[in-house]
Amino acid sequence: MKQHGRVICGSFLLGLASLAILSGCALLPHPTHATAKRAFIAYWPPPENSVGLRLAVKDNIDMKGVVTTAGSELFAKTHRPAEKDAPCLAIARQRNVLIVGKANLSEFAVAPSGFNEYFGTPASPLSGWRRLIPGGSSCGSAVAVARGLADVAFGTDTAGSVRVPAACCGVVGLKTTHGLISIKGVHPIEPAHLDTVGPLGKDIARTVQGMDLLQSGFAGRYEAAKAAKPSAAGLRIGRLTLKGTDPDIDQAVDLALAQAGFQVVPLDEKFREKWDQAKEDGNAIAAAGVWLSDQKYRYALGVSARSKSAILAGRISYLFNYRQAVARQGAWQNTLREVFKNVDFIALPTMQSPPPPLPINLQVGLLEALVLDRQNTVAVNFAGNPALAVPIPLLHGKVPVTSLQLIGPRLSEAALLNAGRLVESAVKKK
């Protein structure tokens, strides 16, 4: 009975936090800040006939001489330019990579839809007659690479903020192992347990290039992974199916895995129950992190009402859920270690449904709750493992693609991207 009550309480508080995240009134984008289809907060178009890699950097990552807005009007108007680069930019600077802009994001990186009242919200390139959400919080990073405005982009991922926009925009996104890439100089949400920096690219090859800008020598590790596993023969994929998933998306995932030639191993109900608990715990820690990192802005002028609501909801999560969730982290990490003794990777949809349309009324708060519930990402952050979102064809639906998520053991980024390469190659042939 005590366990049952805890689950109900946790679900109620999480629902309260979710509904509060976008309860503000300002729905129209600020008209003077739209640059390059709102993918960027600051955009520096490359010179004509320029060559070399073009990099977009999410605007919660410090860049020397540029104000880090974190998607906030308050920061844009009151903060001074950063005095130095975040360490994650070091390799890009050493190689003189052309940085084309600071990419848009949800304010303080807290909204999974990618919605931004002040700088405007970029629409997903998958949009038809209705503008679809770009996913968040790394919305600008995903839109920039999807629209060809950058070759690679850096995003941050606390609960899915690289993989969800990758899924919503039809690109590749890599969530890195927690602690692998320095998050110093990045506006935090929950650095102790969840925050990571990772690359996005239009395809696997570009994403490898992005990862090579984040970790020295990564390209060589990727080539070694390709040489070790040039085909899917012998690779075991633990297939996780979740209740409530759009059947067309599950079908697309199963078809992609079959086309690639993996050995698919269904994961059982017991693991699914542990996954669901990890999702609840990860969301509780992420919500509490908003309070821990941003509580000083809860009454500040220039901060949106929805962000203030998220901060206050995070306080509730911190008081009632945070410590209990953190206490269960070790057990969840051990569960994944045991699973990876029997399979090489875990596969499931990145999102359980296609990206919804951007709202045109006061249902924005419900949208955030919906996206938070439909994303299959935060349990990976709770474990600290790497995960890859790869676009795959969606045979039936309102959008042409959905997203397959592959999860690997800690520090398996090169092998994950190689597995993604096998999927990408297989679905392109069909």
Q: 351 — phi, psi (to 5°)?
A: -130, 150
The domain limits of the chain are 2-429
Average pLDDT over residues 127-142: 95
Give me the pLDDT at residue 25, please: 35
Computed over every residue of the chain, the mean pLDDT equals: 91
Which residue out of 18, 72, 124, 137 is catalytically annotated? Answer: 137
The yes-or-no verdict on residue 124 having pLDDT over 70 is: yes
**Bridge partners, residue 405, by sequence:** 348, 389
Q: DSSP letters along 313-370, please?
A: HHHHHIIIIIHHHHHTHHHHHHHHHHHTTT-SEEEEESBSSPPPBPPSSS-HHHHHHH
Residue 16 pLDDT class (50, 70, 90 cuts) = very low
Give me the pLDDT at residue 23, please: 39
- The whole-model pTM stands at 0.93
Rg (CA), the chain: 20
Give me the pLDDT at residue 89, please: 98
- What topology does CATH give the domain 2-429? Amidase signature (AS) enzymes (3.90.1300)
* Active-site residue flag, 137: yes
Tell me the H-state helices in 130-263: 139-146, 163-169, 204-212, 218-228, 247-260
pLDDT in tens, 351-373: 999 999 988 764 556 788 889 99
Which residue out of 58, 175, 202, 274 is catalytically annotated? Answer: 58
The yes-or-no verdict on residue 214 having pLDDT over 50 is: yes
Half-sphere exposure of 190 (CA within 13 A, CB side): 28
Residue 9 pLDDT class (50, 70, 90 cuts) = very low
* Active-site residue flag, 124: no
Half-sphere exposure of 271 (CA within 13 A, CB side): 18
* Active-site residue flag, 58: yes
Which residue out of 106, 127, 161, 403 is catalytically annotated? Answer: 161
Q: Are 305 and 26 in contact (CB under 8 A)?
A: yes
Under DSSP, is residue 215 helix (H, G, I), strand (E, B) or coil?
coil
